[in-house]
Chain A
């Protein structure tokens, strides 16, 4: 796996690299490989910020594998317009990378190579010099051009079946090609074992995007203040197995009321490896994992729906605290 594959994971060479690595996605998820967290990150910032660029340095393997995992996640999450937004974010990031990589002096990658890998190279005539003017077959142009007056065929230079375009326009058409290719095939059917294993990750993304408000800064742990469904999880945790979503709900609720990872392990009375690892990931990250809303808890069968009109368990929790003035701010 090369760095270039991680930068353009949707291109054929990257897909080949993943295929040749013979990676078992289910095993990655079971092992809570860092690629899972990165894929969550990838999808979340794609949907919230329109890019997939991470602030942190991510190892090549993790970055590359987070792409197929991201496609699995986006197939599972239930957020309106998510597929389109995700594809656009992947394409926008690729566009910036192509601009950057193709203007480097070493010319390690060229527009022609990218266009070829995207399957549109045959439709483009490349100038011999640095004229900055390219010709693209009219059919390909019509397939890819945006719906905008300046792209209307009637105002373009069309001759011999080719439309003349500037370099910036070619980049835009490549961006749109990438967007289509990323969007193609989404959503796909995810095997139930993978779907189950990714349920907490999916829930975390949906919660982050759901827009349900809840108190952001509570630093008091009062088990009795939790609504009954969360209280029940807390009570069951020491003696009964929890399914991944139950575990996720419990850990994120505890984290949101101020417990750190060690405290959560201790308060929940669980020290098995999977619980400890999940706690470290969900409660130890810089990016907070918001607890699910009542609606999501209900959908997951964790909550029976008795919550006095509250939308979010933390709002109910804050109101039930012995001194509810500690719930100070709201987050969206």
Chain B
């Protein structure tokens, strides 16, 4: 990024902050603040360990300094401006989740378009919100959803109960969302020693836990499968069951018979209803449930109690898009490539020097931008310059 581009972006970011009213997170004075200024060279330097009082009025600071990126801490401290974490005196932290499109298993950054990556990321965000509300029982007013301004979404959870959670506790939450550490469906069962029922020796009875968690998800999937099997004729049903790895024809027949004879046992979560085959089937369902439902959050962000997060309302210096806070009702319909385009950048046209021809999807349209000096809508120009694809050209 050359000097002219830097000066241009910095000036326009300043204009944006002049016209935008930012809302601060709760207890802003107890948080650490950090910025990455526009500097020469490819590297970036974070200026951190600042407390709000050092920055003065935040809006004035942002107008005057117009940094490239703006962050605040998930943590709250006795002395947020202290240089070391030990000296800061940690009081507690918001629980933060980061979904980054680049790191989603369903995304190939080489081939997927920016828009489709963000769409996949939003699907993961909706799953995350479902987990946070249904499993963790967080009330809507405890959840703040934010478009990161670039490749993903952040969710901040703010309750008195989560604030004191340490790294280990947060790591458990992350593992839960990722579906990690579940060795097999047996880990999701309760065991009971039973005798009788034609057994010569007592045996362990495994019952899927159905009151919540991954056990309930597997159980729901199992019940749905049982219902669909009941609607099929015998041959189709056995073939369907046979399609699961590890279930041969014999296993398929046993499972089918058990579904016909004792469907209530499946509803009760009895994993021994068709011997080993019901275990095998449940394990297959567990694998697919985790694959489809797990939320691929960026684990280190959640476990780091001192993490700095982008300030909602600020501009992401790597895209020129706004970091937007969304209401929960708007998440589904939110289109970041329309709604995160800063309003002050959407009117004028500017001239840029575009390195190579590329298509930019922004403001609801796809724009083909040729290489070389070209006059474009300012939001597109800023997007390409912030991304490092173009430089400012003389007007």
**Which A residues are within 8 Å of any B CB, using their own CB?**
137-140, 142-143, 145, 147, 149-150, 152-164
B365 contacts the other chain (CB 8 A): no
B182 contacts the other chain (CB 8 A): yes
A155 and B212 within 8 A (CB):
no
User: From B188, which residue of chain A is reached at the shortest CB distance?
Assistant: A155
Stretch at the interface among B70-78, B82-90, B111-119, B129-137: B129-137
Residues of A within 8 A of B215 (CB): 155, 157
Residues of A within 8 A of B211 (CB): 157, 159, 164
| 9 nearest A-B pairs in the assembled complex, by CB-CB distance | A161-B137, A159-B212, A142-B169, A139-B161, A157-B212, A160-B137, A157-B211, A153-B172, A155-B187
B240 contacts the other chain (CB 8 A): no
User: From B184, which residue of chain A is reached at the shortest CB distance?
Assistant: A155
Residues of B within 8 A of A160 (CB): 134-135, 137, 212
> Measured between alpha carbons, how far is A154 from B214 in the docked complex, in Å?
7
A154 and B179 within 8 A (CB):
yes
B162 contacts the other chain (CB 8 A): yes
Can you pick out 22 interface pairs between chain A and chain B where the beta carbons lie within 8 Å of each other?
A: A138-B137, A140-B161, A142-B168, A142-B173, A145-B172, A147-B168, A149-B181, A154-B176, A154-B182, A156-B213, A157-B210, A157-B213, A157-B216, A158-B212, A159-B134, A159-B137, A159-B213, A159-B216, A161-B135, A161-B136, A162-B212, A164-B212
Q: How far is the CB of B269 from chain A (nearest CB, A)?
A: 11
> Measured between alpha carbons, how far is A154 from B176 in the docked complex, in Å?
4
Selected contact of B175 from candidates A150, A153, A157, A164, CB within 8 Å? A153
Residues of A within 8 A of B188 (CB): 155
User: From B173, which residue of chain A is reached at the shortest CB distance?
Assistant: A153
> Measured between alpha carbons, how far is A221 from B309 in the docked complex, in Å?
75
User: From B138, which residue of chain A is reached at the shortest CB distance?
Assistant: A161
Q: How far is the CB of B213 from chain A (nearest CB, A)?
A: 5
User: From A151, which residue of chain B is reached at the shortest CB distance?
Assistant: B172
User: From B183, which residue of chain A is reached at the shortest CB distance?
Assistant: A149
Residues of B within 8 A of A149 (CB): 181, 183, 187
User: From B180, which residue of chain A is reached at the shortest CB distance?
Assistant: A154
Residues of B within 8 A of A140 (CB): 161
Residues of A within 8 A of B214 (CB): 154-155
Known A139-B162, A147-B168, A154-B175: A159·B181 in contact at CB below 8 Å: no
Selected contact of B165 from candidates A142, A156, A164, CB within 8 Å? A142
A162 and B165 within 8 A (CB):
no
* Interface residue ranges of B158-212 to A (CB < 8 Å): 161-162, 164-165, 168-169, 172-173, 175-176, 179-183, 187-188, 209-212
Residues of B within 8 A of A161 (CB): 135-138
A143 and B180 within 8 A (CB):
no
Residues of B within 8 A of A152 (CB): 172, 175, 181
> Measured between alpha carbons, how far is A164 from B207 in the docked complex, in Å?
15
> Measured between alpha carbons, how far is A213 from B358 in the docked complex, in Å?
83
Residues of A within 8 A of B183 (CB): 149
A143 and B213 within 8 A (CB):
no
Residues of B within 8 A of A150 (CB): 187
Residues of A within 8 A of B213 (CB): 154-159
